Chains A and B, each alone.
Chain A
Amino acid sequence: MAHTLTLRVLDQGVRVDGAEPTSKTLVTATYGAMRGDPGAIDLDYTVGRNIGPATFFMRRQGCEQRTAPDTGTFLARFDEDIAIELQKLRRDLYFVHAAVLTLADVALMLVAQAGGGKSTTCWALLHHGFQYLSDELGPVDLKTLEVHPYARALALKTEPPTAYPLPSNIVRTSRSLHVPGDKLPARLHKRPAPLGAVFFLRYDPLALAPSVRPISAAEAAARLYANTLNPLAHPGDGLDGAIQIARAVGCFELVTADLPATCVLVTAVLNANK
C-alpha cells in the first residue's frame, strides 16, 4: 500500500513516497519527528526496494535513482542527500556537523570528529534534563545565533554504556542504531534556540574522569570551521561565520570519560556559564 510521509524541515517541504515496508519504515522512523504540513514541496523522494536482488533505492524528483545493497547504506545515502539538498535550499544557514541539545531553552552544541562520542554523549545528556534539538546537522542562523531544530533520529554507532540503555523498539540498520524522536527519554525542542555554548569532544580511553577547559575564540573558530558543512556559502569562505560564533558563545574542550560524570560536568559548566 502506498504511503506518503510529509515533513516540514528547516521551513522546507519534504515528501517521501514509498510502498515497500522496510524502506518506508526506516525513513518514517528516522524522520517522522519532523512530520508536518509541508506546504509547497521542495524535496520530493520516492523510496523502495527492487524486485530480485535485495536492492534498496531512493530517487529524488528530477534526479537519477540511487541504490543501496543494505539498510545501513540506504539510510546513509538518504541522510546524505537530504542534508546536502537542505544546505542548498537554506544557504543562509551555517551548517555545523554537530548534535544539539537545549537546557532551559538555551542550545549547546556537541562537536566531534567521527567516532568522538558526540551522539553517545547526546544520548546520555537526554537523561539529565536536556531536550533534543538535532543530530548530525546544527543549522545556525548567523543573524540571530539561533540553532534551528533538525530532529532526525539520534544515530549511534554502537550500544551506549549500560547506565543509559536503549529502548527496545529503535531502528537497527546494518550500520548503526537510530533512536526516533518519540523514543527519546526527553522532549523535542521544536523551535530555534539561542546558542549558548559549544563543546568540542575528545574521548580519552585512559582518562579517569572527564575534564573541561575553556578554549580561546581562535581555537574554537578553527575547530568549528573544520566541522562546518557549507562554509563556501558564506562570506570569507565561511571563516567569518565560525569566528562570529566562537566569539559570541562559551567554547570548551570536553574530554569525555565516565558518562554520568561527564553529564554532571557539562551541566555544571553550563550553569556556571549562564
Chain B
Amino acid sequence: MGSECPKRRSDVSARVVEGEMVVLDRDASLVHQLNVTASFIWDRCDGRCTVSEIAEQVAGAFGTSPDASKEAVTAALRRFAELGLLEHARD
C-alpha cells in the first residue's frame, strides 16, 4: 500500500476554509468537512504522492511519529475510499 498513489476524484469540489477542507460530492449529494489532518492528507491525494510519502509529510508537518502518521494516513484514505472520494475507489 505504501507505494500506491491515491488520487482524489476530479469531479468533486473542494475549498479550504480556515485550514479545513469542505468537499462537495454532487454525484452523491454529500458535503464533507475534513479536519486539519485529513485536509492535509486530502491535499496530497494528487495521484503523484505515494502513501509513504504522504505519511512522511504528515510526520513533518504535525510532529507525529512515523507509526502514528502512517496510521493516520491509512485511516484517512480508508475513509475517503469508503466515501467514494478517490479515483480508484470508484473503479
Contact = CB atoms under 8 A, between A and B. Distances in A.
B33 A247 contact: no
Contact of A218 (B13, B18, B24, B26): B18
B13 A221 contact: no
A236 B17 contact: no
B31 A218 contact: no
B81 interface: no
A236 B12 CA distance: 11
Interface string A77-110: 0000000000000000000000000000000000
A240 B15 contact: yes
B31 A226 contact: yes
Contact of B33 (A222, A236, A237): A222
> What 6 A-B pairs have minimum CB-CB distances, sorted nearest first?
A218-B20, A222-B33, A218-B17, A225-B31, A222-B31, A217-B17
Contacts of A246: 17
B48 interface: no
22 contacts: A216-B17, A216-B20, A217-B20, A218-B17, A218-B18, A218-B19, A218-B21, A218-B33, A218-B34, A219-B33, A221-B17, A222-B22, A222-B31, A225-B22, A236-B15, A239-B13, A239-B24, A239-B31, A240-B15, A242-B22, A246-B17, A247-B18
B18 A216 contact: yes
Interface in B1-54: 13, 15, 17-22, 24, 26, 31-34
A221 B26 contact: no
Contacts of B24: 225, 237, 239
B76 to A, nearest CB: 16
Nearest to A219: B33
A113 to B, nearest CB: 14
A243 interface: yes
A121 to B, nearest CB: 24
Name B's interface SS.
strand
A226 to B, nearest CB: 6
Contacts of B33: 216, 218-219, 221-222
Nearest to A225: B31
A111 to B, nearest CB: 14
B13 A243 contact: no
Contacts of B13: 236-237, 239
B18 A239 contact: no
Most buried by B among A221, A240, A242, A243: A221
Interface in A194-249: 216-219, 221-222, 225-226, 236-237, 239-240, 242-243, 246-247
Interface string B77-91: 000000000000000
Contacts of B26: 237
Contacts of B20: 216-219
Contacts of B22: 218, 221-222, 225, 239, 242-243
A200 to B, nearest CB: 12
Contacts of A240: 15
Given A218-B22, A219-B20, A239-B22, 10 more contacts: A218-B19, A218-B21, A218-B34, A221-B33, A222-B31, A222-B32, A225-B22, A236-B15, A243-B15, A247-B17
A230 to B, nearest CB: 14
B91 to A, nearest CB: 24
